[in-house]
Amino acid sequence: MAAAGSKIIWLKLRTLIFGHPLSTQSAESHKVGVFGGIPVFGSDVISSQGYAPDAILYVLILAGTAGYAEAMKVSTAIILLLMSILLLYRRTIQKYAQGGGSYTVAQAYLGEKMGLLAGASLSVDYVLTVAVSVSSAVENLTGIFRWLEPTPNKVLADCIVIIFMTVVNLRGLKESARLFALPVYTYIISIFSLVAFGMFKYFVYGITPMPNTHAIIASNTEAVTLFIFLRAMAAGTTALTGTEAVSNGVSAFKAPAQKRAINTLLVLGVIVAVGLAGMVFLASKYQLIPSDDNTIINQLGLLVFGKSLMYYILMAGIAIILMIAANTPFVGLPILLSLMARDGYAPRYFKNLGDRLVYSVGIWTLSVIGLILIIVFQGDTHRMIPLYAIGVFISFSLTGCGLAKHCLETKPKNYYRDLIIFAFGGLVSFLVFLIFLITKFTEGAWVVAIIIPALMFFFHSVSRIYQREINLVKVTKEDLDAFNEHITRIANRRSDIDLSEYRSKIVVPVFDLNKIVLQALQYGYELTPLVTAVHIASDTERAEKLQRKWKENHIQINLEIVDSPYRATVHDLLHYLDSIEKDPSNETVTLVIPEFVPRKIWQNFLHNQTGQLMKLLLLLNKSVLVTSVPYHPPQE
């Protein structure tokens, strides 16, 4: 009774935190449209435009007042690059309804290595986005909440925010869209109001540059050389980070998913272009100087709104949008890892949907790594920023080059136009990546130069291990014939014994038809003819495929399909065992678990250990016998 009571309390608490499980059939109703897609997929790129003017002017003021005259040229170049990137991902979304963005394009058109480079680069970018966005948001709040200034308090606040974002995203895509819609749209309206009122003041009343500008930068007399222009452009392209998220998450949109994803991408492009161009224009006219404790957007807010309600709404919106920017990776990275897991490059459990129709393993992984980064870097944004944005420009470059190569190979009608757009986006993105890598190398970018190849090696190693295992357990016609003959011999030997004489029931959980399963079925059938193979069907298509294989290969052991609408494989198997136990004709029930034993211990983490979990739960709660049938692959 006490155990049952504890279980009920735990279930109520779990439901309160994460919500009720959602069935697979309800997946479409829990996807998002354009209105929900903007806060879910756009918070990162929307927040990035807020600090891009600072990044541009930090470089341009090296040339003194002459730098302000070049500010709009730099922002125009960035907007042209943005348009090119939008067209890149528009085409990507049109071609790949399942999502995957840069990873899918690079894999298809540039080969496996470039696909893994895109996957590794985006993974690094997503992880760093979480750490940088959260730490930056908390830093912006230290001016209001002074108790956040000590490093331990700041790190604690960062960790609490990441845990909060984790819980919100584990509750489902629609939940996060609802929660973040109001602050994201409030911020967008605030930025548009800032630009609109600022432009109105400039064209109606005129603008007087800040009086201290000339005194501060009088010593700077450099000309705006091509290198300074490119550095300023590269720095300002931080406004584009997060653009790829929509193309990664096409499958998260309601039908027609591709159309809604493209519309979301275009709306985000307009928001970024208007906000960036407007703020850079006003900052150059006022000749503002960015600083760590007085950002461009803060200075513009004071000049345009004064210390009015709109100013405080804008400032609050900045802190909140920086925090919410961490939400984009919580959607993008799990989807990316699920696609890589489907292709065999990431552990298989990354492709499993959780209770709330989200890839929960990917969310937890991102959360844990984000927490580690915050603790290691002590929540210092400036120490993490040199690592930031490098990965995303690798992915932009690969997408552009991949689509340009595809254009050259297929030569569709009017392909020259597309070729110019794709090549421009790919080559300029690659140039920006090189500038970032060179200028930020000693500041920490060398770490990314090590981590990305290391991740590529990891993904490639996972693929090789899985492919080797698939080849080792794949059944041949000879294996199936030998199995059927063996089962027939045992059945003939028992032909004169009434089945009612057998009181022992054996259940063998089956995921696929392979050597591991055949070995477990043979073991069970040698003990008793009362053997049932059970497949927990969380995926209807896979279940139907297994039934066809079973029938085509004339497997003489009964296969039972148990529907699992909430994808709770272990729970549904235990429930099935409950029903078997209640049958009075079964004196004993044994669960025979087929287990693959990897050659090396560390390779166990590539498998989800469902068998071990079932053994543990049955040991604690069931009067069911458990037997493991280990399959040791032969030496090659």
Predicted pLDDT at 200:
92
What pLDDT does 519 receive?
94
Q: Which of 49, 76, 37 is nearest to 177 (CA)?
A: 37
Residues 212 and 319 placed together within one structural domain of the fold: yes
Burial of 633 (0-12, 13-18, 19+ CB in 10 A): middle
pLDDT at 509: 93
Residue 48 falls inside a structural domain: yes
pLDDT at 542 over 70: yes
Q: Looking at per-residue confidence, does 611 or 433 come out higher?
A: 433
Give the C-alpha separation, 100 to 577, whole Å. 39
Whether the link from the prior residue into 256 is cis, omega within 30° of 0, is yes
Domain-located, residue 431: no
User: Does 484 lie in the same domain as 366?
Assistant: no
What per-residue confidence (pLDDT) applies to 553?
Answer: 92
Domain identity same for 41 and 190: yes
Sheet harboring 531-537: ordered strands across?
558-563, 531-537, 504-509, 588-596, 625-631
pLDDT band at 245 (very low <50, low <70, confident <90, very high): confident
**Could you list the residue range(s) of the whole structural domain that residue 542 is in?**
474-631
Q: Does pLDDT of 244 surpass 90?
A: no
Q: Which residues contact 199 (CB under 8 A, 6 or more apart)?
A: 278, 281, 282
Q: Is the pLDDT of residue 323 over 70?
A: yes
Q: Phi and psi dihedrals of 59, rounded to 5?
A: -85, -45
**Mean pLDDT in residue range 290-314:** 85
pLDDT at residue 353 is higher than 50? yes
Assess if residue 422 is contained within a domain. Answer: no
Asked if 480 and 368 sit in the same domain, the reply is no
Residue 606 within a domain: yes
- Indicate the pLDDT class of residue 562, thresholds 50, 70 and 90: very high
Instruction: Read off the pLDDT of each residue in 337-361 and give the average, rounded to a whole number.
Output: 89
pLDDT of 479 above 60: yes
Q: Which DSSP helix (H) or strand (E) runs through 173?
A: helix 173-205
**Percent of the chain at pLDDT above 90?**
34
53, amino acid identity: P
In a domain, 434, yes or no: no
Helices (H), 33-170: 34-60, 66-95, 101-109, 112-141, 151-170
> What residue type is assigned to position 33 of the chain?
G
The pTM score is 0.86
Residues 49 and 173 in one domain: yes
CATH of the domain at 501: 3.40.50.620
Give the pLDDT of residue 97.
79
Q: What is the number of domains present in the chain? A: 2
Asked whether residue 480 falls in the same domain as residue 332, the answer is no
- How far apart (Å, rounded) are the C-alpha atoms in residues 508 and 546? 14
Residue 379 — left, alpha, or beta (φ > 0 → left; ψ -120 to 50 → alpha)? Answer: left
Residue 7 pLDDT > 60: no
Lowest-confidence pick of 154-168, 552-566, 594-608: 594-608
Look at residue 122 and tell me whether its pLDDT is greater than 70.
Answer: yes
Closest CA to 296 of 132, 55, 79, 133: 55
Question: Residue with structure tokens 């129709």?
Answer: 357
**C-alpha to C-alpha distance for 335 and 245, rounded to whole angstroms:** 10
Question: Is residue 620 in some structural domain?
Answer: yes
**pLDDT, mean of residues 169-192:** 89
Q: Is the pLDDT of residue 302 over 70?
A: yes
Nearest one of 184, 201, 182 to 271, comparing CA atoms: 184
Average pLDDT, integer, range 98-122: 90
Per the prediction, the chain carries an average pLDDT of: 85
Q: What is the pLDDT of residue 297?
A: 87
**Cα–Cα distance, 107 to 118 (Å, whole number):** 8
pLDDT score of 268 more than 50: yes
Whether 361 and 502 map to the same domain: the answer is no
Same domain, 341 and 490: no
Comparing 216 with 106, the larger pLDDT belongs to: 106
State mean pLDDT over 33-39.
92
pLDDT at 387: 67
Q: Which of 350, 378, 406 is the last residue in one of the domains? A: 378
Phi, psi for residue 496 in degrees, rounded to 5: -95, 5
Look at residue 4 in the predicted model and tell me its pLDDT.
46
User: Average pLDDT, stretch 249-267?
Assistant: 91
443 has a pLDDT exceeding 90 = no
Radius of gyration of the chain (CA): 29
Q: Is the pLDDT of residue 19 over 80?
A: no
> Is 204 found in the same domain as 81?
yes
How much is the pLDDT for 223? 66
Q: Name the one residue in this structure whose structure tokens are 């540059």.
A: 209
**Tally of residues, the chain:** 636
Residue 241 lies in a domain: yes
Q: Which amino acid is at 48?
A: S
| Residue 35: both structure tokens together | 């209105």
Residue 362: which pLDDT band, with cuts at 50, 70 and 90?
very high
> Of 310, 344, 378, which closes a domain?
378
Kindly state the average pLDDT of the residues 192-212. Answer: 84
- Provide the 10 A C-beta neighbour count for residue 273: 20
My answer on whether 312 and 204 are in the same domain is yes
Q: Does residue 399 form part of some domain?
A: no
Q: Which amino acid is at 610?
A: T
* Domain end position, chosen among 378, 393, 414: 378
Asked which of 76-80, 141-145, 203-207, 592-596 is least confident by mean pLDDT, the reply is 141-145
Taking only the tens place, the pLDDT of each residue in 209-239 is 766 555 445 455 556 678 888 888 888 888 8
The confidence band for 325, taking pLDDT boundaries of 50, 70 and 90, is confident
> Is the confidence at residue 242, as pLDDT, over 90?
no
Mark residue 389 as left, alpha or beta (left: phi above 0; alpha: psi -120 to 50; beta: remaining). left
DSSP letter (8 states) at residue 346: S
* CB atoms closer than 10 angstroms to residue 430: 17
pLDDT tier for residue 281 given thresholds of 50, 70 and 90: very high
